[in-house]
């Protein structure tokens, strides 16, 4: 039988080694001591929710606390593929059931989706209470399924937010009652994918908004070592893994990054400082011709972003990021 698992704050397990003592107290300790009622000599699993796995032997049982001796320490690696559930807000606890089932099946993140026409709306104190309830469901399901990595609970997303995440994902699936293709038979992307964020350069942004969210997105989903990120935008310094910015010329200026499509092989050679899009020249030329036939070539599709008059003026005069992204006044 699998050992019972308890989720602790990360600091409670930092630096713990074999033979060290760990005190299980607080809500987890009270639950263990009064509900599970383990005896001295029994073993439990402890985790920080980020992959750390500590097996402990009960050496003492107190009123609402357990004292354990560490007998083994291990860690579960970050998965190469991360699964995200976008769950619409629903009535009568149906969304709670979906979140619980998805957690037990191994989902890595849950995104609460609040569409403009959703009957349920998370607003004010009631919204915070509902969010805390979802988080409690995630924690309980994580322990019930003996997972050492608990799913993340993302900020509440609008339909536009969900659409943006779908565009940036390697694969997206709609779970619909009329669907005929089982999810188990769907083709999934491999580790080693490259996330391309474009139209964020001096002209395309405009103004080069920072890329902290995409880099945090990759790290939070365990893809920091499995995927690369390239962008014509900029970073704030909070990057992780292989993150490459200031791609020039930018997409809005007709740079090669504007012609990349899903599935294109991209070779990144860090020692030799090179990035190569492995697509035949004739295919790239065909893409460029198609791009330039658009009503507004070299612009993002379906992006809704308010742009001030000042930024529009800057975009019309901005130079490449490789030149400093300064304004070049017309002669």
Give catalytic residues, as residue numbers: 236
225 DSSP 8-state letter: T
CA distance 9 to 13: 8
CA distance 288 to 256: 9
CA distance 191 to 260: 19
Long-range pairs, 98-103, Cβ under 8 A, ≥24: 99/134, 99/137, 99/138, 99/141, 100/137, 100/140, 100/141, 102/151, 103/137, 103/138, 103/141, 103/142, 103/145, 103/147, 103/151
Alpha-carbon dihedral angle through residues 36, 37, 43, 49, given to the nearest 10 degrees: 40
Query: Which pair of structure tokens corresponds to residue 102?
Result: 């998805």
Query: Which pair of structure tokens corresponds to residue 278?
Result: 């492995």
Residue 88, SS3 per DSSP: strand
- For 255, half-sphere exposure in the C-beta direction (CA atoms, 13 angstrom radius) is 23
Count of C-beta atoms within a 10 Å radius of residue 83:
16
């Amino acid at each position: 039988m699998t050992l019972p698992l308890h989720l602790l704050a990360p600091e409670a397990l930092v630096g713990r080694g074999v033979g060290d003592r760990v005190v299980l107290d607080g809500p987890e300790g009270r639950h263990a001591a009064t509900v599970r009622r383990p005896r001295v000599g029994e073993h439990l699993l402890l985790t920080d929710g980020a992959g750390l796995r500590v097996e402990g032997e009960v050496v003492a049982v107190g009123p609402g606390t357990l004292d354990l001796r560490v007998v083994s320490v291990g860690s579960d690696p970050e998965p190469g593929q991360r699964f995200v559930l976008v769950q619409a807000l629903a009535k009568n606890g149906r969304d709670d059931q979906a979140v619980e089932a998805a957690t037990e099946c191994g989902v890595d993140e849950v995104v609460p989706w609040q569409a403009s026409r959703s009957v349920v709306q998370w607003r004010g104190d009631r919204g915070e209470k509902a969010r805390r309830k979802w988080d409690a469901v995630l924690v309980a399901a994580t322990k019930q399924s003996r997972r050492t990595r608990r799913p993340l609970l993302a900020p509440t997303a609008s339909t536009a937010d969900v659409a943006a995440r779908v565009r940036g994902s390697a694969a997206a699936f709609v779970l619909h009652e009329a669907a005929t293709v089982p999810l188990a038979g769907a083709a999934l992307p491999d580790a080693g994918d490259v996330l391309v964020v474009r139209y964020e350069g001096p002209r395309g942004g405009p103004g080069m908004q920072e890329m902290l969210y995409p880099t945090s997105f990759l790290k939070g989903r365990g893809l920091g070592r499995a995927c690369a990120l390239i962008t014509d935008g900029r970073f704030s310094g909070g990057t992780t893994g292989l993150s490459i910015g200031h791609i020039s010329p930018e997409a809005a200026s007709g740079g090669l990054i504007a012609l990349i499509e899903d599935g294109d092989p991209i070779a990144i050679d860090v020692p030799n400082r090179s990035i190569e899009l492995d697509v035949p020249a004739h295919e790239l030329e065909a893409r460029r011709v198609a791009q330039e036939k658009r009503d507004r070539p070299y612009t993002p599709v379906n992006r809704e972003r308010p742009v001030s008059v000042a930024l529009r003026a800057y975009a019309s005069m901005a130079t490449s990021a490789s030149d400093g992204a300064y304004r070049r006044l017309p002669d």
